[in-house]
Amino acid sequence: MATGTYVVGIDVGGQTTKLGVVDARGTVLAQTVIRTDNHSTVEPYIEEVAEAVNKIIADAKAEGEIRGVGVGAPNGNYYTGNIESAPNLPWAHSTVEFAKLLSEALNGLPVALTNDANAAAVGEMTYGAARGMKNFIMITLGTGVGSGIVINGEVVYGHDGFAGELGHTAAVRNNGRVCNCGKTGCLETYCSATGVARTAREWLELSDEPSVLRSLDTIASKDVYDAAKDGDKLALKIFEFTGKILGRSFADFIAFSSPEAIVLFGGLARAKEFLLEPIENAMNENVLPLWKNKVKIVFSQLKESDAAILGASALAWEL
């Protein structure tokens, strides 16, 4: 096992990559952001990442004290260290040996990689709301719906490294929305930020109900949230609908892992005052009686600006 006082966390997103040096208490000592989408091939991107890592290590005065690097990335495989066919990464349309390439660029510093939702789960267990929990499910509510499943203190990766795609379980069985994955009715198409905006657009077309949302040329989930805060009845109904679908799906998720809690994270989780009650009601109405009112719904305690970095960095303490 490697030694060192600090670790580096890297969150690879479709547009930007966030990097930070983190201590054992979860304090981000130095951080920076680079573009993910500036390169069409992986080699120059890896070079830019390595330069950025070396710079923040210097900024944190942590030279020689880094234990390792943790990376959270779309379609990241914990077993292989590869990013496999990530459609939103311009340099990863096929398999990229990301951990190996980055370790080589950093003169052999150990690198661990997983997908972004699993990284969030590890971060929450290490630094956040799930500290001390051995069994919980992390749900990330962002552009999509991601998930990380922790059982007996360990992330579930499955036989191929890709376990935990709960956002692509069927929330609506008949006439469900078409998902980017090619399936229909996926949880992601209803309960992501894009799903909430989609619900708003569909409902505005189907009804004459007055709403401030009608005056907008384009609608994002934040618009629906702002309208709900102002008491807009249609916006409040949209969150009730979204929370109900989440709660029903959570009842199914509880049946296979019996978690202590379900932890919610991501941009849409900021709407917790509108989501929590319908989630809990629908979950407890649909779950088996032996779990009724036993599973907590909790929201991430990680500082949002640092959360992606912290989640990825938590992997590196295991190196």
In order of their start, the domains of the chain are 6-123+305-316 (3.30.420.40), 132-300 (3.30.420.40)
- Across 212-235, b (16+ Cβ under 10 Å) vs e yields ebeeeeebebebbbebbeeebebb
pLDDT in tens, 69-100: 999 998 899 999 999 988 789 999 899 999 99
**Mean pLDDT confidence for 4-11:** 94
**CA distance linking residue 122 with residue 314, whole number of Å:** 6
Angle, CA 172 vertex, CA 276 and CA 174 arms, to 5°: 155
φ, ψ of residue 17 to 5 degrees: the values are -120, 125
The CB-side HSE value for 95 (13 A sphere, CA atoms) comes to 6
- What pTM, to 2 d.p., does this model score? 0.89
Q: Check residue 254 and give its pLDDT.
A: 98
CA–CA distances in Å: residue 84 to residues 11, 78, 80:
16, 11, 10
pLDDT in tens, 213-247: 999 999 999 999 999 999 999 999 999 999 999 99
pLDDT in tens, 173-224: 999 999 988 899 999 999 999 999 999 999 999 999 999 999 999 999 999 9
Residue 304 has pLDDT above 80, yes or no: no
Confidence of residue 267 (pLDDT cuts 50, 70, 90): confident
**CA distance linking residue 249 with residue 245, whole number of Å:** 6
Residue 1 has pLDDT above 80, yes or no: no
Q: Check residue 234 and give its pLDDT.
A: 98
Kindly state the DSSP code that residue 177 receives in the 8-state scheme.
Answer: P
Q: Check residue 86 and give its pLDDT.
A: 86
Confidence of residue 302 (pLDDT cuts 50, 70, 90): confident
**Mean pLDDT confidence for 247-272:** 95
Which of 304, 301, 167, 130 is closest to 246 using CA atoms? 167
